[in-house]
Amino acid sequence: MDVSRAKNRINELILLLNKYSRLYYTDDISAISDFEYDTLYSELKNLEELYPQLCRNDSPTQRVGDAVSESFSEHVHKNRLYSLDNTYSYEELENWYNKICKEFEKDDIELVAELKIDGLAISLLYNDSKLEVGATRGNGSVGENITSNIRAINAIPLSLSDSKVSVDVRGEVYMPHSSFEKLNDEARALGQKLFANPRNAAAGTLRQLDSKIVAKRGLAMFAYAAIFENDINAPKTHFETLKRLSELGLVTNPNTRLCKNVGEVIAFCKEFEEKRFELNYATDGVVVKVNDYSIQNALGFTAKSPKWATAFKFPPEEMSTKLLDIEIGIGKTGAITPVAILEPVNLAGSVVKRASLHNYDEIKRLGVKLGDTVRVKKAAEIIPKVVAVEVEKRDGSEKDIVVPTLCPVCQAKLEVPEGEVNLYCTNNEFCEAQNEAKIQFFVSKPAMNIDGVGSQLIKTLLETGLINDAADLYSLTKDDLLKLEGFQDKSATNVINSINNSKHPKFSAFLTALNIKHVGKETAELIVENFDTLEKLKIASDKDLAQIDGLGEKVAQAITQWFADERNLKLLLKFENSGVVPQIVEKTVLSNVFVDKSFVITGTLTKPRSEFEQIIKSHGGKTSSSVSKKTSYVLAGDSPGSKLLKAQSLGVKILDEDAFFALLEGRQFDEK
């Protein structure tokens, strides 16, 4: 075959294979068998090997790179990606709509209702129809460049049907239920850990450094928005944009509806609240957008979200199942947590076998018994929680849950400290379960962040006597690990390097890792702002510590008691002798705008909470984890919870993100 004929055949094969992929992923139509598809694919691959100069970037064979990436680089989005405000009731949805109609003096404004896919938002940049960049949403302004992995997803075209179009496409990558089940079946057969739900599986897959793995896992994507570059014929409405994206070869969700008014949107929501369980993908709500772009542009954006769109969230899924048993968990402080062992039930996209009962007061409040049929839901659709008992289903075989008096591990006495509801194991020194939990927390991400030292390794190290406490980790050698089952030279070296690399932690991280009662990450950072060395903290009095805004008497006492304990001082000495030296991070002060001001941050914001904390501190302010009369402002995002209520009761000023940045920049804003 000469070059000319080869070129024509390659072009023909690319056209055919892309067409069949589109039919399969868009319309769920298997136009040809897998064998026939593979035969065409092999022919294309062979021709490209014979004539490498004819290989095109949009060829199906180019979806998977040969190299394994070491990391993902940052990508600054050409156009910012926003998050959405949420509504949880039809009344809120109607209020949002009526406000827009009133502003534009219209009785009705067209809306588009489309299912909210439970996946990961991405941006796809096409230049002259060719896919150039695929990136994660990140913080909306900066994401990660994951182009190699995006190219490995068959549902995403490498080139669009219009050779002249340049467009920034927004989409949601997800894992279909069928792909998820197949992935977990394969993992189960190999004895590997199963993914919790399709969204986690999709996120884990997109984070793979080897795009060959991505290609095998059957990810898909729905395109839901686009910004056309320098196109005088660009669509004038959102619904037209979805149609245009489909014509270009991108997959859009077929369950999308153009609605004349909010009543039709509500009908759509009610329809899919039931139908969603029949779909091959997870959805947790409906995205509602004003259709007309001229109205969208007039409405504009808040600091975090468009004013012309909102998301109606379906009620959290709740299921009934049997309570089979109670398992007692023992935390790093000795706190006893009863955990419900359940008859497995599929809940919000994952199989739930265990659920929190929090404490024995909660068991009493619910009136739950062993053998009861209970209702379980996922708090914030993440943590399984028992919320009610279906008393009418009792048959008399149910048994009362007995409150334990002794620790199930060390048999020490259990007590409820004054002013608390949790039971605690009193054997803080010798309880093996407490010790194991302490070390597990010490190596965790919020604390010392030591990669490679997981719960199973810690258990093995304790059982073999290689360690007795967290400080002993720094005495481990490679030879110690090589004696353990499953370790080879490289894996042992990696663990030892990871431990050694943690010897110079931030002081606040080290303080968090020490497991002092009531001292978490935020409290540790507050302490470090006022006491910048361990030596100063050791001699601090209750009174000194209680003066820190946000600490309080109980926390101050817990800290001084910890440093007064001779066992803890010996532990600190072991760390010091092992070369563990906490570092003070110098604060960068950009201005004094927030000097003498204390902030409490609550709810979901458009950026990680740590970014807002950094802004506050770099402008002279302080942050606290709890609201008090001394609090200057509460920065409240979505779902702020009890901290907002306390702030309102104390008369503390409340800021949303717009007001926060206005305060920072010295602009006027409305106080709440």
- Rg of the chain over all Cα atoms, to the nearest angstrom: 29
Measured distance CA(462)–CA(517) in Å, rounded: 23
For the chain, what's the residue count?
672
The closest of 432, 405, 408 to 416, measured between CA atoms, is 405
Q: How far is CA 648 from the centre of its chain?
A: 29
Q: Residue type for 131, please? A: L
CA-CA-CA-CA dihedral for 630, 635, 640, 641, to nearest 10: 0
Three-class SS state of 552: coil
3-state helix, strand, coil in the chain (%, to 5): 40, 20, 40
- Residues whose CB falls within 8 Å of the CB of residue 556, separated by 6 or more in sequence, listed in order: 542, 543, 544, 545, 546
Q: How far is CA 382 from the centre of its chain?
A: 10
Cα atoms in the Cβ-side hemisphere of radius 13 Å centred on 619: 16
Measured distance CA(312)–CA(595) in Å, rounded: 40
H/E segment holding residue 599: strand 598-602
Answer whether 617's CB lies under 8 Å from 623's CB.
yes
Q: Tell me, what DSSP letter sits at residue 602?
A: E
Measured between alpha carbons, how far is residue 270 from residues 101, 263, 280 in Å? 23, 11, 19
Catalytic member of 45, 116, 193, 543: 116
Dihedral-angle region of residue 158 (phi above 0 means left; psi in -120 to 50 means alpha; beta otherwise): alpha
H/E segment holding residue 92: helix 90-103
Q: Can you give the three-state secondary structure of 303-348, one letter per residue? A: CCCECCEEEEECCCCEEEEEEEEEEEEECCCCEEEEEEEEEEEEEC
> Would you call 483 a catalytic residue per the annotation?
no
Three-class SS state of 354: strand
- Residues whose CB falls within 8 Å of the CB of residue 194, separated by 6 or more in sequence, listed in order: 184, 187, 188
Measured distance CA(500)–CA(504) in Å, rounded: 9
- Read off the tokens for 282: 């997870």
Look at the block and give the residue holding tokens 């008691």: 561
Q: Tell me, what DSSP letter sits at residue 78?
A: S
Measured distance CA(467)–CA(496) in Å, rounded: 14
What is the DSSP secondary-structure string of 103-116?
A: HTT-S---EEEEEE
Answer whether 609's CB lies under 8 Å from 616's CB.
no
Phi/psi at 418 (nearest 5 deg)?
-60, 130
Measured between alpha carbons, how far is residue 211 from residues 132, 173, 205, 626 in Å? 16, 15, 9, 44
- Read off the tokens for 18: 């892309």
Look at the block and give the residue holding tokens 């008090």: 628
Contacts 24+ apart (CB under 8 A), 543-548: none
Residues with catalytic annotation?
A: 116
